[in-house]
Amino acid sequence: MKVATEISLSLFLIVAIWCTVPSALSPIGFYPQQLEDLIRNPDILKANEPLSAPPTPSESIAVNFTQQEFGQPALKGDESSTLGSLLSPVPSPASIPASDSNLGDLPLLGPAAQGGVNTSEDRDFQVNGISQGPTQNLVSSSTSSLALSYLPSPSPSNQKNRRSDERYMFPMLSSLVGSGNQLMEYKSSAVIARILNRTLCLAPFFGGPQKHTGHLGSNHFGMQFEERYDLKELSRFVKVVNIHECTQQCNNGTLDRVWRLRASGSSRPSDWSKWFRSIPGATVDFEQDFKNWSSPDDIRRAFGQLNDDPEAKCVGLRGAFPGLRWRGAMWAAAAYTVHTESIVNASNAFQARILGTNPYISVHWRFEESRCRGHRLGLCFRRCRDGAVVGGGLKSERYVELPLVTDHFDLGAGFHGAGLTREDIAAAIFDKAAEEGVQSVYLSTDGWLRDDESRATIAWVVEEIRKKGFNVSGLWNIQGLPNFSDGTYVEEKEIWRLFGLSQYRNVSNNMISLVEQEICIRSVVFLGSGQSTWSLSVFDGRRSRRRRMEFESSVRSNYTTALGVPFTDRELDDAVIEHLFQDKHSAGPACNGLVGGVPETYEDEAPDGWLDFEACEKRIDLGGKCVRFFGATTR
């Protein structure tokens, strides 16, 4: 009897603690399945009245980035009905039990703190058959800027959890374009798959056109998606599955439907026959209607009954380049498309060798060889008809003030461009470095792979900047031009040492490109080249992750759910994605942007910018010699 009484008393105490002291037990959270209900029915959440004046959003805590993209606070409660219903201000510290008062900011992950962050387990992580290794091995994408916290994936972790009604989307990547273009297709596919609640099949990248080989061209390391990008991060945005399981689930390689966003000659059905034995023709053609999509509801309405078709278990998405024109969607995908641990580690070693701990600006100087053929490569940049930079939409009314030069180009009368001088290129880079107060410049360029004239142009610009006392580094291979300011060169077979690797065979063109992109993402300022998807990927990575980190920090610091507890990982991710979706600027390397999209301004880009804009319009009053190209109709 005494034992029974003690048991009853213990149960009573446990219930009392549960009801009166929430902080004594695990925080109450929402199950992932409830999230859609919460978004669609905000009344499920009980509103919390703030106990004091609403807190001002916390300041940006990203080190190497600017604070805001739109000149607005990091978080506004009325920003959208969905976010407003999910977020409640954090009560004043005095009203919260000590164990609950510290909601925490995003932690810094550097060499001294490489453990799992804000995660409940450190066992090996697996995304549908693709091993990701121990969680504690995940490290920051930058040793000098704020890291993203790596949290448990919301997607099924292995095949035994696969639902029988799971539906798949296969991105039908274009084989005749470069990896930057293919990544744009991937991001568009990821956005559409997320909104339509489909699992994204991780198709390998194609090698693309072999216009040049550069370093180690015969090595194909990096063709698999998981060799380039962190699957655990991507799976927080969309459910993913490897290509082998995808084909198995799709009736051993059968695509039921093919949805085509736009007509494209950059791929062939035979390109995908390695994985799918049965591929139908395009069952629906959107005829570029995707240019009008600027919200998840637009995409749901566009696909409508197509997505609900019970026979459409496995669909291919074709013609996705140049991608969705809605920047909010592309940024949301980019924020969760981060480099793998191996790329991060190689970048850490490379950065330590060439830059140390010094702040630096980075420049991507693209030598466009297809549109400006017959003109000095690297100094000819294609523009939109109104003079806007291709890829950013940034334009200046002063473009029409430039001297007009009519000449012959591949696009005939359809060509509009900016013709620069090497002096203006050097001055633009020097001015930006001086403006930021840095002494180091990292220059990524493909110009050394073009011709002798291009190599001479690069050498002149690099030497001119070095004469002014700046350290300029890069991975070019130009006779007589050291890769580093100390006069040393990079031997091709020694690059693996710079990357901190143990063997030569693991280095490839793909890895070098990804490491250079990571170095550019980390810089204080980045100057990219118009019409380059390589540059656009860096811009998207820098700015989307900055917005993500600022928003996460603000939510963690200032808000809880209406139940008074911190957000779960899944809820926070969905709030971040919803926040990024609000951006209505145009996106993509195209001149026909989002219909009704918000115009881009120089302030939106700052402190980053486009090299061709900085060296052209920005130097009109500084003695610049830029001209305006216009294509003639005949040769």
Secondary structure of 317-371 as H, E, C letters: EECCCCCCCEHHHHHHHHHCCCECHHHHHHHHHHHHHHCCCCCEEEEEECCCCCC
Domain membership of residue 508 (yes or no) is no
Q: What is the C-alpha separation between 563 and 50, in angstroms, rounded?
A: 13
Q: What is the pLDDT of residue 509?
A: 86
Q: What is the C-alpha separation between 544 and 226, in angstroms, rounded?
A: 21
Structural tokens at position 452 = 């002798």
Q: What is the C-alpha separation between 619 and 611, in angstroms, rounded?
A: 11
CB 62 within 8 A of CB 550: yes
Q: What is the pLDDT of residue 249?
A: 97
Q: What is the C-alpha separation between 196 and 307, in angstroms, rounded?
A: 7
pLDDT beneath 50, residues of the chain: 2-3, 7, 9-160, 634-635
Domain membership of residue 15 (yes or no) is no
What are the φ/ψ torsions at residue 70 (nearest 5 degrees)? Answer: -115, 10
Q: What is the pLDDT of residue 466?
A: 98
Contacts of residue 258, Cβ cutoff 8 Å, sequence gap at least 6: 172, 279, 280, 281, 282, 283, 315, 316, 318
Are 469 and 409 in a shared domain? yes
Q: What is the pLDDT of residue 307?
A: 97
Q: What is the C-alpha separation between 492 and 489, in angstroms, rounded?
A: 10
Q: What is the pLDDT of residue 431?
A: 97
Domain membership of residue 264 (yes or no) is yes
Are 627 and 569 in a shared domain? no
Domain membership of residue 13 (yes or no) is no
Domain membership of residue 2 (yes or no) is no
Are 383 and 436 in a shared domain? yes
Are 360 and 307 in a shared domain? no
CB atoms under 10 Å from CB of 599, counted, come to 12
Domain membership of residue 322 (yes or no) is yes
Q: What is the C-alpha separation between 628 and 40, in angstroms, rounded?
A: 51
Please state the pTM of the whole predicted model.
0.77
Are 322 and 468 in a shared domain? no
User: How many structural domains is the chain composed of?
Assistant: 2
Domain-terminating residue out of 571, 588, 605 = 588
Percent of the chain with pLDDT over 70: 70
Are 390 and 285 in a shared domain? no
Domain membership of residue 617 (yes or no) is yes
Q: What is the pLDDT of residue 411?
A: 57
Q: What is the C-alpha separation between 603 and 285, in angstroms, rounded?
A: 38
Are 540 and 528 in a shared domain? no
At which residue do the structure tokens 């305006």 appear? 628
Are 384 and 440 in a shared domain? yes
CB 60 within 8 A of CB 550: yes
- Taking 3-state DSSP, the helix, strand and coil percentages for the chain, each rounded to the nearest 5, stand at 40, 15, 50
Are 312 and 164 in a shared domain? yes
The residues facing 629 across adjacent strands are: 405, 417
Are 303 and 383 in a shared domain? no
- Look up the domain containing 172 and give its range: 40-338+536-588
Q: What is the C-alpha separation between 57 and 76, in angstroms, rounded?
A: 8
Are 430 and 485 in a shared domain? yes
Are 561 and 626 in a shared domain? no
CB 76 within 8 A of CB 526: no
Domain membership of residue 11 (yes or no) is no
CB 339 within 8 A of CB 141: yes
CA dihedral sign, ordered 331, 337, 341, 342? negative
Could you check whether the bond before residue 269 is cis, i.e. omega within 30 degrees of 0? no
Structural tokens at position 590 = 């195209």
At which residue do the structure tokens 């400006």 appear? 372
Pairing of strands 284-285, 360-365: unpaired
